[in-house]
Amino acid sequence: MKRIRGYRYRAYPDKKQQEFFSKNFGSCRYVYNHYLAMRKAEWEEWHGTMSYNDTAKDLANNLKKENEWLKEADSSALQQSLRHLDNAYQNFFSKRAGYPKFKRRRSDQSYRTMNNNNSIRIEGDVIRLPKAGKIKIVNTRNFEGRILSATVSMTSSSRYYISLQVEEEYEILPNKGGTLGIDAGLTVLYTDSDNNKIINPKTLSKHEKRIRRLQRELSRKKKGSKNREKARTILAREHEKVADIRNDFQHKMTYRLANENQVVCIEDLNVKGMMRNHRLAGSISDASWSEFFRKLEYKMEDRGGTLIRVPRTFPSSQKCSCCGRQNRAVRDLSVRTWICPECGTKHDRDVNAAVNILAKGLEMLAS
């Protein structure tokens, strides 16, 4: 069985390679923004639109001739930039995303290049890329497969990464065959049907005081000065530190859940809608439910497991997991424990919800 999987490596390019990457980032950004402006203008003027083929022809016949410096960049990366623009429009037309936005110089930078004639390959602790040569990496993950493409990215704090898209053969890994229901929360990241509660690490909250101080220091620096650039880099590193800690925690939790269970049932939360509540948006973002469940889903698939999403309309918190009686008084979120008026069972709100989610998920799986 074949699959396409990503492998990400921390890269340490030398000064010459950093300059080449900077040129590539700038060239791809320029091409993307140029044709976004062109497509936008055509639509506003006469409701016309350019296809990917139209932009590719114009790039080769006109833009590269008008701007000779574009020839110094990786030609495959420029073509992929046009692909990304076309995909952004397709997502917009399909209502999966908003209207494409212009790329900014100060945000994270990246470019993608394709593996033509084995131009991308790993040789020990280096990766060979078109026009960039051999780039030193931390080679922590080995694989056997065909490299399809490579994405070079630079974070706001100037950390470099190279992500490879690899087509490979794979075997389904084993798991311990358990079944589990999960009820997500904020104070407790999740409560499961086995009465286990995983405390939310609240990574952003723990670093919020330092982030605010660094933001104030940045705002006092003169625009365009070297001190402002240093302050911006320090602030970016702090944000990346928060993201790294959260990412590490999520990988450990989802790895354990996927190893121990064949079926995991969760509630299909409307996270985007919940984020509109300005009082809870920060806490929901810090909990990062969507990313947690995304990691869990692909890890379950790797081990032959199944992640079932129970509809959000299912009254998991209100329903008694013993007799099935629905208690509408439990809609008040301040009620953390309650006694079923029908059978007299005392419930912990979150544990009861997790048990109900598991039961509903297994019912959906059987049907």
Q: How far apart, in whole angstroms, are the C-alpha atoms of residue 119 and residue 351?
A: 53
Q: How confident is the model at residue 331 (pLDDT cuts 50, 70, 90)?
A: confident
- Asked if the model's pLDDT at residue 120 lies above 80, the reply is yes
Residues in the chain: 367
267 belongs to the catalytic site: yes
Give the pLDDT confidence score for residue 332 in this predicted structure: 81
Inter-residue contact 218 to 231 (CB < 8 Å): yes
pTM equals 0.85
- Asked if the model's pLDDT at residue 136 lies above 90, the reply is yes
19 belongs to the catalytic site: no
Give the pLDDT confidence score for residue 279 in this predicted structure: 83
Q: 264 phi and psi, to 5 degrees? A: -125, 130
Give the pLDDT confidence score for residue 141 in this predicted structure: 85
- Asked if the model's pLDDT at residue 180 lies above 80, the reply is yes
Q: What is the CA radius of gyration of the chain?
A: 25
74, 183, 192, 297: the catalytic one is 183
Per-residue pLDDT tens for 241-268?
999 999 999 999 999 999 999 999 999 8
183 belongs to the catalytic site: yes
86, 192, 267, 297: the catalytic one is 267
- Asked if the model's pLDDT at residue 228 lies above 90, the reply is yes
Which domains, from first to last, does the chain contain? 2-169 (no CATH), 178-366 (3.30.420)
- Asked if the model's pLDDT at residue 48 lies above 90, the reply is no
192, 286, 297, 350: the catalytic one is 350
- The rounded mean pLDDT for the chain is 91
**Amino acid in the structure at residue 38:** M
Give the pLDDT confidence score for residue 108 in this predicted structure: 85
- Asked if the model's pLDDT at residue 291 lies above 90, the reply is yes
Q: Token pair of 171, please?
A: 């075997």
